[in-house]
Structures are given as C-alpha cells and as structure tokens.
Amino acid sequence: MSVRSIFLVSMGVVAGFAGGLVVTGRLAATEPSAAQPAPAHRAAAGAASPAGPQTVAMPDLSDVAERAIRASVNISSTQYVQTNNWFRAMGGDAVLPQTSLGSGVIVSSDGYVLTNTHVAQNANAEIEVTLPDNKKLPAKVIGIDVPSDLALLKVAATGLTPLPWGDSSKLRVAEWVLAVGNPFQFSQTVTQGIVSNVNRHDPQLAVYNDFIQTDAAINPGNSGGPLVDSRGEVVGINTMIYSQTGEYSGIGFAIPSNLAQQIMKELKANGSIRRGSIGLDSNYLITVDKALAQSYNLPVDHGVAVRNLARNSAALAAGVQPGDIITAFNGTPIDAADQLQRLVADAQIGTEATLDINRRGRTMTVKIPVTLMRGR
C-alpha cells in the first residue's frame, strides 16, 4: 500500500481542497523576547543504587505552553477561483471562494506573523488573522516563498508577545517539544512529543527538505504554527505530516528555525527570495547511488547524472553534456539531486559556480555563471 502524506492545509471550505495539495505524487501538505526558564525536566522518583535504573519524571511544560499560546494565531485565507463552463451552464456562480484554515506564529511585537505558503495561498488572497485574545484582523502579505513553504504576513497590531527563536542546529533526538496550532479549528491546541530526527532529508519532501521530524501530534490546521522546545523557544514551523489517512500518525515535519529566520528576514526586506540557477532542469537530473551504478555500469557510485539539457541552457553553453555525472558543486561533494538543487539555489547570483564532472570515466571541471532563478 502506498503511503500518502499531506500538507496541513486544514479544513478547506471548498470540497476537494480540504484534503490538501499533492506534492511529488506522495506528499501533500499540514522578535526575541525574554523567555523564562522551563521547570526542571528530571526528578528522581526515589533512591536508586548507582548501578540500578533511575526513574525520570515527565517534563512539566505548562508555563512554556502558556507563553506559546500567546504567540500563536489562527489564519483564514480565502481566494476566489473561476468555475468551469459546465458548472456555470448549470446555473452556478462564475467564481467560488476557496478557503484554507491554518496557524501562524507571531514573530514581532508590531504584528509580523510567519506561516506556511500553503496556508496563506497567494498574495491576492483575503487573509484574516485571529489573535490569542480572539481579536480578528485583516492581514497583508509581505512575501511568499513557495520552495520553502513560508509566508510572512503583517497585521495592524502592537504590543504582541512573540517567542524567542531557538537554534535548530542544536536540537537533539528525544528532546521534548510542543506543537501549537489550530487543528480541525480547535484553536490554541498544544500537543507534546519529542524530536524524532533532527535533519530528515528525503527527496520526497521538497527542495528545502532538511526537516525536523517529531511525534508531537500534528493534524490539518497545525500548518504554520510553531514547534517549541522546553526553553520556550521556536525551533521550527510545523508544515506537513506523513500519513496513510491524512491525519496524525506520529510522523510530522517542521521547517527548522534557522532556515525559517533566514527566509523571514529576506521576505521582510525584499518581499521575495532571490535564488540562483545554472540552467539545469530538475526533471533531467538523476541521483546516482551504488545500485544505479551497478545496474548501468557507471564510472562512479555517487553524484547526479544529467539526463538531458535544454537547448538554451547555461549549463549546455558552459560545456555540460547529457550523460555527465556531477560529483561536486563548488567543492561540496554531491550525493543527491535535491542536494544539488539546494546548493545551486543558495549560490550567490552573479558568481561563477564550479562543477566537478565525471564523463565516461574522465574527470573534469566546468564553470557556469549563476543567474537569477526565474518563475519564483
């Protein structure tokens, strides 16, 4: 049975949209302030011999949860879609509202809110943010980034209480975390779990796919809400689940806080994210591993094979040929196609990238100018 995952575009009002958006055929989508130290996590339940087992108490994260709730919001986004000719011929409306309900996290005291792109939908959507005190405010889209699934909104409010950012690179497996959001329109819901994996890297997930995996319950409507550590710091933005049913199955994913902050700052400054390109179409890239190398008698057992190139491709003009295997990008060894895409996207526009290539057993380097990625 194939396993299906969904983005948490929760509780879409229009039938057919509520289930979420399918991605890669399997996946579908879910200002620093003072933080008080969390209560001590560990407490001995009784005397134990040095060599004997010790009992560890469950953490009390109630104070952290209270602060997290004050920094979390509910988001409703409505866009109007053109109906088909058959529907109009039957007397239906020309356009119908399509609504997505999700969550967000307050990131500044003056009204900036970070959420998922699939919650905000697009810059033309009508977006309403419900604050923790149930006050509803219209939101303006500051910027939307599809590859990272992050969107920055702004509401006319002051005196809000954001949580501090945590360093996602310092997370450890089995560390306690809370997921806060609006699952199934049950606002201000808090669930508790642990970090299951600190860097879940899988080509099924997305170009920006170094996700935090957690078993804290995440359901439709949690998208865009914060993942909070035991110190009361935002360490991730909840974004999708892996499930056969479309609901909680113990495997959820959050965008790491370090990446979220980086994207947020650029969206705030520029309204969009500038990414690099070297003219390699992702549809024409194939990850090379040991199994593929054995099956096709390839000269190397790692890297990315170029299956084809567009005629106007900068890579083709620079000397890359179909059949080449890219083994490194600017000195970084390449193990997967999505890794190469990420490195290219993050490369500085206007610079020259160096590709290490294996061509039928012969090694060489190719230099390609990094240009602005179009269509983002």
Contact 302, 289 (CB under 8 A): yes
Q: Is 149 tagged catalytic?
A: yes
The one-letter code for the residue type at 93 is: D
d(CA 90, CA 200): 48
The single residue of 103, 145, 149, 215 carrying the catalytic annotation is 149
Q: Is 302 tagged catalytic?
A: no
For residue 195, list its beta bridge partners: 214
d(CA 283, CA 306): 10
**Count of Cβ atoms closer than 10 Å to residue 93 Cβ:** 11
d(CA 38, CA 41): 8
The single residue of 118, 187, 229, 257 carrying the catalytic annotation is 118
CA atoms within 13 A on the CB side of 155: 28
Q: Taking the mean position of all CA atoms in its chain, how far away is CA 278?
A: 24
d(CA 342, CA 40): 39
Q: Helices then strands (H, E): number in the chain?
A: 7, 23
Q: Is 118 tagged catalytic?
A: yes
Which pair of tokens denotes residue 201? 């890297």
Helix, strand, coil percentages in the chain from 3-state DSSP, rounded to 5: 15, 35, 45
**Count of Cβ atoms closer than 10 Å to residue 224 Cβ:** 36
The one-letter code for the residue type at 40 is: A
Q: Please name the helix (run of DSSP H) or strand (run of DSSP E) that holds residue 261, with its range, or none.
A: helix 257-270
The single residue of 223, 230, 243, 277 carrying the catalytic annotation is 223
Looking up tokens 């209560």 gives 39
For residue 242, list its beta bridge partners: 5
d(CA 332, CA 336): 12
The one-letter code for the residue type at 247 is: E
d(CA 100, CA 170): 33
The residues that are catalytic are 118, 149, 223
